[in-house]
Chain A
């Protein structure tokens, strides 16, 4: 099928400075955990998107000098020839597909802690970062300004040598150029502070110098947060924002515009819980009223209809995307081929981002299990090795892990039967997607449901058996499959077992009419009382989401949290607005408490720091701290137990215990994946299903094959011609 002509506008080339972008699909700079130290990961992940049709593809933020060192987080670096060599792999591979490669030159100021380089970062004024802990910058004098501007110029030359077509001066997310521009940071009284013209001077001069240096060969881009969302205390788009665009426009070939800062950059990378597609347009749309240059912007654009609309409306020229390009690296190709039902739509969960926030493990994606696995495991999202045998496979459970496993097995040509008690593919996602703001998480189910139905049609002996009775071990053994995959998920515990005490809570029993698990709330079978107390020891979304849902349904909600409420949501950038939401809804949060016992209508809570801080040995049977006497009773009409999850692994364990019967039923192997193996993120459950499907021919397919590691190699110096021997100063 050919593309719909209404999307033609997305495929029109556009000139940016000395370069031409082949279409309007552009992967903006985003982190993946590769930097310049994992060049294979970097080259494979980025060039795969070039293969998938993205016209422009960038590195993540790329440090220009050791003074901008972000360790514990992973950035790319362009400090020296060693980095040039490593990033060259990325540009070479991107160029094979006719796409442009860009680099986002970054100097962080006080936000870069320099934990590896131990440098002192410079900034327009001296302040402590509101983002990074305990880092101050040194206020620049004019010599410093000239020196840092020269860092950009030198890095730009190295970028050109590394083969980059687009060179950024990165001033979004409150990094150095914006620190000069914004009165929130810039308190200077000289010609670099005060008026907008003065505050813009550093950035405009830097652009001019970089353009003069490499502008004949490279397009000069700048990423600009056009509104920092603090009102007059920062940048407002219609005031300083547009004035800056006027001042810098002559030296910019491409504007990459967004909103927000770094401390709350979820206002830019908006999670679907709070923001819809195109949520930044109300700010971004102003730039084209002033600039004569192409303007691009992000907004988790996943729908070609919306993409075409924002271009036709004159809001943007180019569709910027980070998360949608991770979720589906072949998004442009699928639009081009009219295969919209094959789009693997980003669900906006921000689990990709969480990995950068955690400090730089390889990025993962909930939707796309191959993200980050391109190089080290050789996984291509659209290509699958042919089935290695005629074995038929029974997959028990059509949740994230089982559905993904079945999808990939079918892609490989296996005959697959999927059975599930539910009448819908999706497992736990069917419940989760009903939580407030999480409707788009349903795309995870929708993609697999669509693909399974399509693939099943082509595989005549395969079958999707929904609404089936729970499968017994006898039935599974007699089913006639050579391989059995157990993907039966996990359940919230009914007895209060939790990660703090690793024990049940006395009196906790979801069988009681006034206590409930999340599943019981989803099923709607239990009457929920007026006063709800949610007891949470889960670090992700379940407790805050249920609190919001029950409050919005009219209940009075209190959350008692034994672990930080929504801890993981800091990493997914959902935490700030989650806390605002809880506050606005009047949901009371009691932190740092746990439950000692539960009786009808009341729970006894204690402060987890309530035992003595002095530790001493007091003999066997005696605690080394003084007794915790902070216990207090709290009343409820309904207690919701969000304390922990447990694998639904009974079927797997029975099948394993009956291994001696496998041969008589022609069963060769039995596997367990996803939450049934151990409860985990949806992303990881999806990954496990995918991995097993790709490795099912292995002798021990239950456990992953080793992947190709990229590490510093003893004997191979980072710098070309460098030394590796241990040498001390004398």
Chain B
């Protein structure tokens, strides 16, 4: 069986940054890209299963993104796995989680995967929807925020735990094929070795376009999205005031401020 692991390079902001001219995103000049933290955990889940059942399970990282996203695939492949898949063309700019989920579902069908794993959320946009959108598109069973996964590739269902509020754990059985989103802390992700990093550079990455996956231009990008970013902005912060002067002057000013805030002034 194949386990497809959806990964994403997330954008991290520098200390100083600016909003893009169209006002819909941060200026890419100020962004640093790194693998989404959750993806380290979901990839580790897949790798451990592939190692436990070496002839029965293949783990494949998949990402939707421009060429720079290959760094994320290579980062995964440095730890294990033999190949990766990247989906992209220009038409995908502005796609929302529905479109990404649609694309992931198409890859899952193409690969005849039995399971799709994704991070619970990505640290940049924090939608926490992509995995579930893929499940909806595939019509598969799905569980979000998974903290433990027991899988026997011969069985028709998997056992799963989820952490709930107040320290309660929920144990579920889920019918395969299935989509799961993985929570931080489910395992201890391994580090890549230098040998792994060097070998990953030579591992094959397949690049697919939406049309190769059977999606029309109307189904992707802003046209295919149900949501659209209208504006991204930095909210105004409250201004602190440094009260200067002698203790008596400071006390007077402090009293004024209190009165102003109470509406007495």
Contacts and interface: CB of A to CB of B under 8 A. Distances in A.
Interface of A: 1, 392, 394, 415, 417, 419, 457, 460-461, 463, 465, 467-468, 478-481
A480 B191 contact: no
B184 to A, nearest CB: 15
B32 A457 contact: yes
A457 B33 CA distance: 10
Contacts of B160: none
Interface in B145-196: 188, 191-196
Interface in B183-226: 188, 191-198
A278 B86 CA distance: 58
A394 B196 CA distance: 13
A455 to B, nearest CB: 13
Given A1-B16, A457-B32, A460-B71, A479 B197 contact: no
Nearest to B34: A457
Given A1-B16, A460-B71, A419 B191 contact: yes
B202 to A, nearest CB: 13
B25 to A, nearest CB: 21
A392 B191 contact: no
Given A457-B32, A460-B71, A392 B194 contact: yes
B194 A394 contact: yes
B34 to A, nearest CB: 8
Given A1-B16, A460-B71, A480 B195 contact: yes
Given A1-B16, A460-B71, A478 B191 contact: no
Contacts of B188: 467
B191 A481 contact: no
A479 B32 contact: no
Nearest 8 pairs of A and B residues by beta carbon:
A480-B195, A480-B194, A465-B191, A481-B194, A479-B193, A392-B194, A461-B197, A480-B193
A478 B197 contact: no
A539 to B, nearest CB: 39
Contacts of B193: 417, 478-480
Given A1-B16, A415-B194, A480-B196, 4 more contacts: A417-B194, A465-B191, A467-B188, A468-B191
5 contacts: A457-B32, A460-B71, A461-B197, A463-B197, A481-B194
Contacts of A419: 191
B17 to A, nearest CB: 13
Contacts of A392: 194, 198
Given A1-B16, A457-B32, A479 B71 contact: no
A465 B196 CA distance: 14
Interface string B35-75: 00000000000000000000000000000000000010000
B221 to A, nearest CB: 29
Contacts of A461: 194, 197
B72 to A, nearest CB: 11
A480 B71 CA distance: 19
Contacts of A465: 191
A463 B16 CA distance: 25
B198 A463 contact: no
Contact of B195 (A1, A467, A478): A478
A457 B198 CA distance: 18
Nearest to B196: A480
Contacts of B191: 417, 419, 463, 465, 468
A419 B197 CA distance: 15
A417 B195 CA distance: 11
B225 to A, nearest CB: 31
A653 to B, nearest CB: 22
Contacts of B195: 478-480
A417 B196 CA distance: 12
A392 B71 CA distance: 19
Interface string B125-155: 0000000000000000000000000000000
Interface centre among B71, B193, B198 (most CB of A within 10 A): B193
B224 to A, nearest CB: 33
B67 to A, nearest CB: 14
Given A457-B32, A460-B71, A479 B16 contact: no
Given A460-B71, A463-B191, A480 B197 contact: yes
Contacts of B16: 1
Contacts of B71: 460
A486 to B, nearest CB: 16
A481 B195 CA distance: 7
A463 B188 CA distance: 16
A468 to B, nearest CB: 6
B32 A463 contact: no
Contacts of A460: 71
A480 B32 contact: no
B78 to A, nearest CB: 9
B41 to A, nearest CB: 15
A337 to B, nearest CB: 13
Contacts of A479: 193-195
A467 B191 CA distance: 10
Contacts of A467: 188
B18 to A, nearest CB: 14
Nearest to A464: B191
Nearest to B32: A457
Contacts of B198: 392, 480
A467 B71 CA distance: 24
A394 to B, nearest CB: 6
Contacts of A394: 194
A392 B195 CA distance: 10
A392 B198 CA distance: 10
A457 B196 CA distance: 19
B161 to A, nearest CB: 24
A415 B196 CA distance: 14
A1 B16 CA distance: 9
A415 B192 CA distance: 13
